[in-house]
Amino acid sequence: FQTDVEICLIGGSCKSPIERFWNESDTIYILQKARQNEESDSLEVSGTDDAIYASELLPKESSGPVSLSVRRAKQLISLYAMVQNPNMTHLKICDLVMLPPLWIRCDASDPEHTCWLGAEPVKAGKKITGITLHTVTCDGPTADKTHFANLEDLKTEHKKRHHSSVVTTKGFAQYELIRAAAIEDTILESESHIYVDINWNTVNEILETPPLISAATLNITLESGDPRSPVYQQYRELQFLLALADGLKTGVTEWPEPLESESAVDTVREFLTDLKKKLEGYCVSANKSETEKIKCDTAAVDSSIASAFTERGDLDFAEQFWCKMRSKCVSSYQELVECFTLILKSLERGEIQPWIHHGSSSLLSKLIQQSYQGKIQVVSLTGITPIEMLLEIGLDKMKKDYVNFFIGQELATLTCLDYFISTSVDLQEQVHRVQKLHHMLEIMVSCIVLLQFKHENLFPLTQICMKYYKENPLNEKHVFQLPIRPALVMKFCQNDHPEIWKVEISSGHGPKEVKTTWQVSSNPPLEHMTSNSTGLFSDSTVNGSSEERLYFITMSQCSQVHFI
């Protein structure tokens, strides 16, 4: 019956907006101010045309969550506590139902800058014996460390509030490793994130560096396609493959613009001429090195990754043809048909006898095998056939590239990779699985180059990625997590500021446990505060300097009210 508010139930896999401060329940209620109908609001503007024009110049209200006043939030918390209290018999509630915890967004309009109020039932078995009330306040940003709390003062305040004689402390810090690590002084900035979360017991001072006995978890979210990535050329190759696959689905293939003046047809004709000469016994020694070591733009591959990902030196005829089609950018369907026509005619006449890898599944590979017996089947280069043939060749080649990396680095066996390279599924699904392989490659290469990870960490991370991708579709926003030794990333922690640093002070046990949390973070910890409280989150600095690291300070406290 409260028309000024709206409520939503958060549970399951949904991300909780308060997980940084409280994560004691999988299911919670979030209460916030009801959004107004923007269309009806705009109709209320009246007056002259100038007035209407002026209204259009005003900034639009944010579409994000809207907070309630602290006073209103306290009223709603009281209503929640009342209906959970078994002593409120005058309410005539027949069957008292234990509700999920309630959290209310607040506008920080009070002197303490309260941004969340929360309440959760305290239970003993199936009975509600009390309620825990939570208050979260936030201030900043500030670079003035005199605003930071003193740990002993926090502990003393907690003891007074909860009448405790003994308290325990736990620390948490999060560091962003992509920003801290750089290749040749170039910081990689993208939608990718590599963070490390570190937890430890017994905190001695505010903002202390985590000790080596901490528990650390690496969190990786990586978006493929960063132009500065050492495997960017492999990404571009994958994009060419995807363009062909999309062409088969939609019937319209977007051909890339040619990068060189020499046409793909002329390139293939020259390629076949070299093979004919080789078959006739000419220029064998001169061409052997060239044909067996086509690198497909490896000059663009960063030297720092050369030991981890190198283009294979055993490309067969079909793979070399694929490289030429990609690097020379076959620019039309007709040009592709002409290229295949040249190859098929050379095979029919016995002018070339190229070698191919055993187990290659493409139609061109099968035709080459048939040519060894002097006769090949007739293939009609019409419709989608030429595109399908080129896609098959690209799939064969790229699968071998990824297998070469993962087996070469001893990160997986052929049996483990069988799901990703299987030809028992249709072409579109094969392409999808190759995309997964590429995403795993990007993750491993980033860990090798940016974090200098060795096999002991790369191997379990590969297993985690493979397990996920055998059960789920491609998802570059997924966070892959790997437990690691803190010493592995401690150099970043010692040389860089944390994104989040938090101390938790607790006392009591079980339902009577109470906590006080103090946290600093480099980003606003509350999405509803950034739009509604611009005064609170102003660009403050110390001594006029903008070079100082700015932090938001968040404090979470609780108190218990017992009904029984």
The answer to whether residues 147 and 261 belong to one domain is: no
Worst-scoring range by mean pLDDT, 10-24, 289-303, 380-394, 500-514?
289-303
Predicted local distance difference test score (pLDDT) of residue 342: 94
The answer to whether residues 129 and 245 belong to one domain is: no
The answer to whether residues 271 and 378 belong to one domain is: yes
Predicted local distance difference test score (pLDDT) of residue 123: 83
The answer to whether residues 128 and 251 belong to one domain is: no
Whether 531 has a pLDDT exceeding 60, the answer reads no
Worst-scoring range by mean pLDDT, 209-218, 293-302, 371-380, 419-428?
293-302
Q: Residue 69: which residues within 8 A CB-CB, separation 6 or more?
A: 106, 107, 109
Q: Which of 403, 384, 134 is nearest to 251 (CA)?
A: 384
The answer to whether residues 249 and 351 belong to one domain is: yes
Q: Which of 428, 454, 486 is the last residue of a domain?
A: 428
The answer to whether residues 266 and 362 belong to one domain is: yes
Predicted local distance difference test score (pLDDT) of residue 41: 44
Structure tokens at 406: 């993962």
The answer to whether residues 353 and 270 belong to one domain is: yes
Predicted local distance difference test score (pLDDT) of residue 541: 38
Query: Which DSSP string do the residues of 71-121 spell out, in sequence order?
Result: HHHHHHHHHHHHHH-TT-GGG--SS---PPPEEEEB---STT-EEEEEEEE
Whether 534 has a pLDDT exceeding 80, the answer reads no
Work out how many domains the chain is built from and give that number.
2
Backbone angles phi, psi at 356, to 5 degrees: -135, 160
Worst-scoring range by mean pLDDT, 40-44, 188-192, 277-281, 352-356?
40-44
The answer to whether residues 247 and 336 belong to one domain is: yes
Containing 19, the helix (H) or strand (E) segment is: none
Give a yes or no: residue 470 inside a domain: no
Backbone angles phi, psi at 76, to 5 degrees: -70, -35
Q: Which of 181, 20, 117 is nearest to 558 (CA)?
A: 117
Give a yes or no: residue 18 inside a domain: yes
- 328 secondary structure, DSSP code: T
Give a yes or no: residue 339 inside a domain: yes
Structure tokens at 42: 């705009």
Size (the chain), residues: 564
> Which whole number is the average pLDDT over 117-122?
91
Predicted local distance difference test score (pLDDT) of residue 48: 39
Structure tokens at 511: 């339902």
d(CA 80, CA 104): 11
Q: Which of 395, 428, 461 is the last residue of a domain?
A: 428
Q: What is the pLDDT of residues 42-75, one digit of tens each?
A: 334 434 344 333 333 333 445 667 889 999 999 9
Predicted local distance difference test score (pLDDT) of residue 92: 67
Predicted local distance difference test score (pLDDT) of residue 21: 76
C-alpha angle 151-520-214 in degrees, rounded to nearest 5: 70
d(CA 142, CA 161): 27
> Which whole number is the average pLDDT over 169-174?
96
Residue 494: CB atoms within 10 Å: 10
d(CA 303, CA 334): 38
Worst-scoring range by mean pLDDT, 199-203, 357-361, 424-428, 491-495?
491-495
Give a yes or no: residue 362 inside a domain: yes
Worst-scoring range by mean pLDDT, 80-94, 304-318, 409-423, 444-458?
304-318
Worst-scoring range by mean pLDDT, 238-247, 394-403, 520-529?
520-529
Q: Which of 84, 96, 94 is nearest to 120 (CA)?
A: 84
Give a yes or no: residue 146 inside a domain: yes
Q: What is the mean pLDDT of the chain?
A: 82
Beta strand 500-507 with 127-142 is unpaired
The answer to whether residues 255 and 401 belong to one domain is: yes
The answer to whether residues 153 and 241 belong to one domain is: no
Q: Which of 428, 460, 483 is the last residue of a domain?
A: 428
Cα-based distances in Å from 127 to 37, 79, 85, 461, 512: 42, 19, 10, 45, 15
- Rank 78-92, 132-146, 232-246 by mean pLDDT and report only the highest: 232-246
Whether 104 has a pLDDT exceeding 50, the answer reads yes
- Long-range contacts for 261-267 (Cβ within 8 Å, ≥24 apart)? 262/328, 263/328, 263/331, 263/335, 264/324, 264/325, 264/328, 264/329, 264/330, 264/331, 264/335, 264/336, 264/339, 265/335, 265/338, 265/339, 265/342, 267/324, 267/328
The answer to whether residues 17 and 114 belong to one domain is: yes
Cα-based distances in Å from 225 to 65, 87, 222, 383: 33, 61, 10, 31
- 409 secondary structure, DSSP code: T
Worst-scoring range by mean pLDDT, 69-73, 106-110, 389-393, 547-551?
547-551
Sign of the four-CA dihedral 28, 29, 32, 38 = positive
Give a yes or no: residue 207 inside a domain: no
Structure tokens at 460: 């379990």
Whether 209 has a pLDDT exceeding 70, the answer reads yes
Q: Which of 271, 266, 241 is nearest to 256 (CA)?
A: 241
Give a yes or no: residue 334 inside a domain: yes
Share of the chain above pLDDT 90, in %: 46
Q: What is the pLDDT of residues 403-435, one digit of tens each?
A: 999 999 999 999 999 999 999 999 999 999 999
CATH number for the domain that contains residue 337: 1.10.287.1880
Worst-scoring range by mean pLDDT, 44-58, 369-383, 436-450, 483-497?
44-58
Give a yes or no: residue 337 inside a domain: yes
Domain with 379, as residue range(s), is 231-277+307-428
The answer to whether residues 110 and 244 belong to one domain is: no
Whether 532 has a pLDDT exceeding 60, the answer reads no
- 511 secondary structure, DSSP code: G
Cα-based distances in Å from 370 to 143, 365, 377: 73, 9, 8
